[in-house]
Structure 1
Amino acid sequence: MDVTVVHTADLGPDGRGELRDLLDLSYAGDFEPADWEHALGGMHALARDDDGTLVGHAALVARHLLHGGRALRAGYVEAVAVHPEHRRRGIAGAVMDPVERLARGGYDVGALGSSEMALSFYAARGWRLWRGPLFALTPSGIVETPDERGGIHVLPLDVPLDLDGDLTCDWRDGDVW
């Protein structure tokens, strides 16, 4: 298996189409247009099998999170996916390795929203579940997002974090977290 890291700009139309096909297949039709937008504009770890078929992906995009009275530069993980026929072979870990390296080297904190199915995967990699209240900075002001509790993880880096404190994400269309 070969893992490469490229910026969205270097995917090109064919690469973006191939990636979108993988995400649609991996998420079984539950990958919305806003989810696609959230995955673009950053770095992509792409895993290919020996035949060159795209079998895994993870993106890291820049966001801002508010915590402890300051804005944190967050490397936010998006669109982690493994082709259904290639699961349980270490591909998710292989695409997360470079994404986590980029987060550690370029951001104050790593963050992601996880499905319940992937909670133990992220915990085993050192991601910490956010226990405190979650909010979003919306066009109408700061709004609590209680439905996201139990699914938001952070990768603590150089900035001290109070996992029981408030965490506020920047605004975006679709799912804010």
Structure 2
Amino acid sequence: MIRRSRTAELTAAELAGIRALVDVAFTDFSDHDWAHALGGVHALVLEEGPVLAHGSVVSRRLFQGERPLSCGYVEAVAVHPDTQRRGLGSAVMAALEDLAPAYDLLALSASERGVPLYVSRGWSLWRGPSSVLTSDGPVATPEDDGSIYVLAGASGVDLDGPITCDWRPGDVW
């Protein structure tokens, strides 16, 4: 039912199926969002036909103060609208969470609709201020405060402290 594969191991048809899924699941999924979801490990639910659920983990560098953190950043978690509330999102998240030992922490930026899933799985809201590391130094990202979640128990991080992500085009968080 659930399969994990690196981006390079996915077929062109599977990649097209994942992109079609996220385009149906999200009204504003951009080409930048798509690029952010590639280059890591994907968990997907396939049955005969379309991709029913998906999520990926990509490597990123986060900082808590001066402390660098190796982060598995969760991207593009989606369940086809016709198959929601059947546990597919939880199955995808379980497969991605199995990758946690390879990182200092797992993190994600949650949509309002996704928050109940993540909280039910033990993810914690990052309560401190967020920023992005630019060539001019850290720049506050207050629009992202309140939407960043990390897997509970992650490397003794201070959830009330500041957190900074590496810069990337599109949505930085």
Coarse TM-score class (shorter-chain normalised) = over 0.9
Alignment of 1:23-172 (within 5 A): 23-28=22-27, 30-49=28-47, 51-102=48-99, 104-157=100-153, 159-172=155-168
For residue 4 of structure 1, report the CA deviation from its aligned partner: 0.3
Conservation of the 8 A alpha-carbon contact between 2:14 and 2:51: no
Structure 2 CA distance for aligned equivalents of residues 15 and 118 of structure 1: 23
Residues 15-64 of structure 1: CA deviation (Å, up to 9, x unaligned): 21111111111113x11000000000000001023x25310001000001
Structure 2 CA distance for aligned equivalents of residues 151 and 96 of structure 1: 17
Q: Structure 1 residues 158 and 22 mapped into 2: Cα distance closer, same or farther (>3 Å)?
A: closer
Conservation of the 8 A alpha-carbon contact between 1:111 and 1:153: yes
Conservation of the 8 A alpha-carbon contact between 1:66 and 1:168: yes
Structure 2 runs not aligned, ≥5 long: none
**2:16 counterpart residue number:** 17
Structure 2 CA distance for aligned equivalents of residues 123 and 45 of structure 1: 19
Structure 1 runs not aligned, ≥5 long: none
**1:6 counterpart residue number:** 5
Conservation of the 8 A alpha-carbon contact between 1:134 and 1:149: yes
For residue 91 of structure 1, report the CA deviation from its aligned partner: 0.5
Residues 57-105 of structure 1: CA deviation (Å, up to 9, x unaligned): 0100000100142110000000000011001110100111110011x22
Structure 2 CA distance for aligned equivalents of residues 158 and 139 of structure 1: 28
What is the count of residue pairs matched by the alignment?
173
Give me the TM-score of the superposition, normalised by structure 1. 0.94
Query: Which amino acid in 2 is paired with 1:129?
Result: L
RMSD of Structure 2 on Structure 1 (CA): 1.2
Structure 2 CA distance for aligned equivalents of residues 7 and 61 of structure 1: 10
Q: Structure 1 residues 158 and 40 mapped into 2: Cα distance closer, same or farther (>3 Å)?
A: same
Give me the TM-score of the superposition, normalised by structure 2. 0.96
